[in-house]
Structure 1
Amino acid sequence: MISATTIGPSTAERVRSACARAEGARLAIEGTEPVVTLLHHLRSNGEVIVAVPEDSSLATLARQPSLDGVPAVLELTDHTPLELRESVRSLVWLRGELRSVPVPLMRPIADAVAVEHPHPALLDIGHGTILLRLIISSSVVADSTGAEPVDVEDLLTAAPDPFWELETSWLQHLDVDHPELIDQLARRLPPSLRRGRIRPLGIDRYGISLRIESEHGDNDVRLPFPQPVDDSMALSRALRVLAGCPFLNGLRARS
């Protein structure tokens, strides 16, 4: 039976994980078309460093000398690692003030970002790509359960899930190579939710989420681990225990 109390990441942790996973965020200011960023990175000082094409309208506006900053919104989409009928797991909106980065500071800031988040777009800074700074004032996340604001201080002190980089390979491995384990997990669902195609939706240190796709719509269910896990071996063991198969061979995601 599913636990009545679902243990999972805090909202701030979910946002940090979504920020780490999301690609191609959309940056918008009033009166212009949104621009797809080439890079985004949330720093501990409360700013998001974004890279945009040097000839974009946002870059032109942000660099106007008469402006200290303009209100802007960065929208991030957290997509499902597997090809599901509905591919969006959550949306995150980071609102704040967009400011330019002086040319002499672009390379030092790019180097500082590279230490925490190596990304190919950083190689193009100064060569058709520039950096901008979004000073965050508010954050909101929305998913199948609704929308929720996130305190900025909580967001900055939270960390992304330790498995965010491995999640895609883990779920693909489960979906392709271990359908029997998914079947075992499905036995923990109420009978009314077993009528449809059951796929792994997400996994983190606190548990696994399943998506049930049926002719009547989609349902997401979370199955929590008995306790949070911190490494791949513990994650594999927790999954097998949750499925009622503690003596199966350990699961390892393919590289």
Structure 2
Amino acid sequence: MLAVEGADPVSTPVHHLLDDGSFAITVPVDGPLSAMVTRAGAAGAQAVLEMTDYAPLPLREPVRSLVWIRGRVHTVPGADVPGLLDLVASVDPNPALLQVNSGDDSRYALMRLEIESVVVADATGAESVGVSALLQARPDPFCAMESCWLQHMESAHQDVVDRLASRLPAAMRRGRVRPLGLDRYGVQLRVEDTDGDHDVRLPFPKPVDDVTGLSQAIRVLMGCPFLNGLQARRLERPGG
């Protein structure tokens, strides 16, 4: 969502971080926010882009984290629009890009948000993030599989959730424990209790980079003595 003072916040189907530290964003072309930014001219308009990270499970409180990006939003000169669209599409082929600069059928205007500050917030608190750190960040190796993995874990492997929950302090095991997140650093659990929700991270012994390492790290958290899985042992008769 993009918010500019004096206009209602609007959804931004495209919000793509560019190499120069700005965001390419799309907003409804006929809305008041687009008109306000156009009238602001070269100075741009002060704005806040809010990104919401929703859990892939139907939790009581679905929001996992929030990111607020404050800066000034500018229109993109018409001559620069095709090139910027191609640049964004080469990395993120969002269908909404086809509705920018498409004549009478245009639904969105392409704009650029020049970053002044970034704040990330989750259950542990809020922290400012520098633009250089934002540009150096890379996608977590499990980001594409996280949603499916957590959904499968919830629906078919309650035993895994229970084993992970056994690592929590006894006072937190009274609530309903649900998988919340997964990344190379550990597993997050959400405890839904009568006194509210509590998020807990179970860290891996060391960061992992592939599925094999992830499987081993989760088994360690579960207390499994076999890093590569529970394998049946062949019992031999005495003297056999």
Which residue is 2:29 aligned to? Answer: 54
Task: Give the Cα separation in 1 of the matches to 2:97 and 2:215.
Answer: 35
Alignment of 1:189-208 (within 5 A): 189-208=168-187
CA contact (8 A) 2:41 2:74 kept: no
RMSD value, Cα: 1.5
Which residue is 1:113 aligned to? Answer: 88
Match among 172, 177, 185 for residue 151 of structure 2: 172
Which residue is 1:21 aligned to? Answer: none
| 1:69 counterpart = 2:48 | no
Q: What per-residue deviation string (whole Å, max 9, x for no partner) do you get for residues 62-117 of structure 1?
A: 22374431111101111111111111111110001101111121121111011111
CA contact (8 A) 1:47 1:135 kept: yes
Which residue is 2:72 aligned to? Answer: 97
Task: Give the Cα separation in 1 of the matches to 2:155 and 2:216.
Answer: 19
CA contact (8 A) 1:107 1:125 kept: no
Which residue is 2:133 aligned to? Answer: 154
Task: Give the Cα separation in 2 of the matches to 1:209 and 1:248.
Answer: 23
Aligned length: 224
Task: Give the Cα separation in 1 of the matches to 2:194 and 2:215.
Answer: 32
Q: What per-residue deviation string (whole Å, max 9, x for no partner) do you get for residues 5-28 of structure 1?
A: xxxxxxxxxxxxxxxxxxxxx101
| 1:235 counterpart = 2:210 | no
Q: Percent same amino acid at aligned positions?
A: 52
The higher relative CO (CA closer than 8 Å, separation ≥ 6) is in 1
Q: CA deviation at 1:241?
A: 2.2
Which residue is 1:41 aligned to? Answer: 16
Task: Give the Cα separation in 1 of the matches to 2:94 and 2:11.
Answer: 16
Structure 1: stretches of 5+ with no match in the other structure: 1-25, 250-255
| 1:135 counterpart = 2:114 | yes
Alignment of 1:78-93 (within 5 A): 78-93=53-68
CA contact (8 A) 2:68 2:118 kept: yes
CA contact (8 A) 1:100 1:131 kept: yes
Letter of the structure 2 residue corresponding to residue 63 of structure 1: T
Letter of the structure 1 residue corresponding to residue 149 of structure 2: W
Structure 2: stretches of 5+ with no match in the other structure: 232-240
SS at match of 1:63: helix
Q: What per-residue deviation string (whole Å, max 9, x for no partner) do you get for residues 101-139 of structure 1?
A: 111211211110111112111111112222100010101
Q: CA deviation at 1:191?
A: 1.0
- Provide the TM-score with structure 1 as the length reference: 0.83
Which residue is 1:222 aligned to? Answer: 201
